[in-house]
Amino acid sequence: MEKKPLNHFHPGSSVLSFGTAGCNSGCRFCQNFDIAKARSIDKLSVGASPEKIVQIAASRGIDSVAFTYNDPIVFAEYAIDTAQACRALGIHPIAVTAGYMSAEARPDFYAAMDAANIDLKGFTEDFYWKVTGTHLADVLATIDYAVNEARTPEGEHVWVELTTLLIPGLNDDDAQLHAECTWIGEHLGPDVPLHFSAFHPSYRIMDVPPTPHETLTRARAIALAEGLHYVYVGNVHDREGDTTYCPNPQCHAKLIECDWYRIIADRLSASSGGNGHCPQCGTAIAGRW
């Protein structure tokens, strides 16, 4: 689950991931460009009905199915049908998405998901348009909807986490980071987890170096200073940045201690005897445990 990344949604549980071909974003740094930029006929591989996908997951004891690799909004009907088949067998449907979709598409799409990781790729319209070919305002509207309005059929909030890939010189300056974290705090609240991930040269941005580790730790420090409770770093080895801490400033206990994607200690999840509260001070920890 941590690879999606979703740190507060049934940590350590298994996920079956799949995607199709094509994308509605034009990211110049796409990590899956061979899939996202391909025509479906170029990538025709294995035919799989929603029922077949879910049967494979169930037969292997897999807890969740993730729609990922390319944006699931481009195969929304297929994803929704698969999500419904998942729920029929108690398997969690998860979206990994850039959040670039119309207001009309959001209700049906997010009602089908139990959780989502949404990319917030930067925090200026200039970056979004020049580097991704999309618009910041549309993504912010999707994130706002997914966090504050979307519900599962049982009436529970869809669980949402955010990811920002930090690209040196493009979206990693202090002004953008402060603005992003302020917006998250004001519109979504401090409990939505935020992941800062390291960029590696890819596709059409090969002349920019990988993200320095210190950039990730600086971004994490800014987010925490802005009042966000759960901030992580990704694509690098950083045990502190991988670990979930109690947000109570008088406590700050380690709750889920991770080393890369390996969980060292879990004091929250029901599967490990936890009850979603800090065992040290009793603070409720946002998530699905």
Over residues 122-155, the pLDDT tens digits come to: 999 999 999 999 999 999 999 999 999 999 999 9
Q: What percent of the chain stands above pLDDT 70?
A: 96
Contacts of 82 (CB under 8 A, 6+ apart): 50, 53, 54, 65, 67, 93
pTM summary value: 0.95
Answer yes or no: is pLDDT of 42 > 80.
Answer: no
Distance CA 62, CA 139 (A): 30
Phi then psi for 101, rounded to 5 degrees? Answer: -150, 160
Locate tokens 């445990």: which residue? 289
The rounded Cα 240 to chain-centroid distance in angstroms is 19
Over residues 146-182, the pLDDT tens digits come to: 999 999 999 999 999 999 999 999 999 999 999 999 9
Q: What is the mean pLDDT of residues 21-41?
A: 77
Answer yes or no: is pLDDT of 40 > 70.
Answer: no
Output the CA–CA distances (angstroms, integers) from residue 23 to 76, 97, 105, in the order listed.
12, 10, 15
Distance CA 282, CA 278 (A): 5
Write the burial class of residue 154 (CB in 10 Å: 0-12 exposed, 13-18 middle, 19+ buried): exposed
Distance CA 277, CA 180 (A): 28
Let me know: does 157 contact 150? Beta carbons within 8 Å: yes
